[in-house]
Amino acid sequence: MSLNRSEKEAVISEVTSLAAQAQTLVMAEYRGITVADMTKLRSQAREKGVTLSVLKNTLARRAVAGSAFEVLSGQMTGPLIYGFSIDAVAAAKVVADFAKTNDKLVIRAGAFAGKILDIEGVKQLASIPSKEVLLAQLCGLLMSPISRTAAVLAALSAQRGAGAEEVAEAAEPAAEATEAAAA
């Protein structure tokens, strides 16, 4: 079913706004993928904040014209699914992870910061931990010296506390002997 001119303009404006907000675009060929697999891919993408679109390539070329993704215009051929993400690694991660389990999804190219990424570039981008993981690792590094200091102080106080108990236990019989002698 073909789109009329106003519907095409609406698609172009929607994809243009996606491209303006996104940091990364990943393109993959989806020839031979079942509807169930495509639905699974779309739900995984939605969970990660990635927008997946199947577009006519001419409309996609017009939509990315003037954006950082214009460098991919020459590679927009064949049945492609376009993954846009605001997070720099999310689109690459979703597509690359799905491509590992489904050999019918073939990564074609990607773009990040105005530069074309080949298949290996997309896979390398996908291997970078997400922003949340990196922040958690940073917090762990910052907390490590503090927790070690707390553990050392706790051990010292336990040792001193044990020493004080031994002195108190040793003092009790002497105090009892002194009280018995006084009585």
Q: Same structural domain for residues 47 and 114?
A: yes
For residue 37, what pLDDT is reported? Answer: 92
Sign, Cα dihedral of 118, 122, 127, 131: positive
What whole-number distance in Å separates Cα of residue 92 and Cα of residue 118? 11
Q: Based on the domain organization, do 142 and 112 belong to the same domain? A: no
Q: What is the pLDDT of residue 1?
A: 52
Q: What's the CATH number where 44 sits? A: 3.30.70.1730
The pTM is what?
0.70
- Together in a domain, 26 and 106: yes
Q: Is residue 103 domain-shared with residue 181, that is, in the same domain?
A: no
The reported pLDDT for the residue numbered 167 is 47
Are 87 and 168 contained in the same domain?
Answer: no
Q: Rounded CA gap, 64 and 24, in Å?
A: 12
Condensed to tens digits (0 to 9), the pLDDT of residues 33-73 reads 999 999 999 999 999 899 998 988 888 998 988 888 989 88
Q: Is-contact 95 122, C-beta < 8 A?
A: yes
Instruction: Based on the fold, state whether residues 113 and 170 are members of the same structural domain.
Output: no
Total domains, the chain? 2
Q: Which stretches of the chain score pLDDT less than 50?
A: 167
CB burial class (10 A; 0-12, 13-18, 19+) of residue 37? Answer: middle
Residue type, 142: L
Pair of tokens at residue 173? 């019989």
pLDDT on residue 82? 93
Does 120 share its domain with 144?
Answer: no
Residues 155 and 175 grouped into a single domain: yes
For 22, the 3-state DSSP assignment is coil
Say yes or no: 137 and 122 in one domain: no
Q: By residue range, what is the domain housing residue 137?
A: 130-183
Given 106, 128, 150, the domain boundary residue is 128
Q: Are residues 124 and 134 in the same domain?
A: no
Shared domain for 38 and 77, answered yes or no, is: yes
Domain limit, last residue, from 112, 128, 144:
128
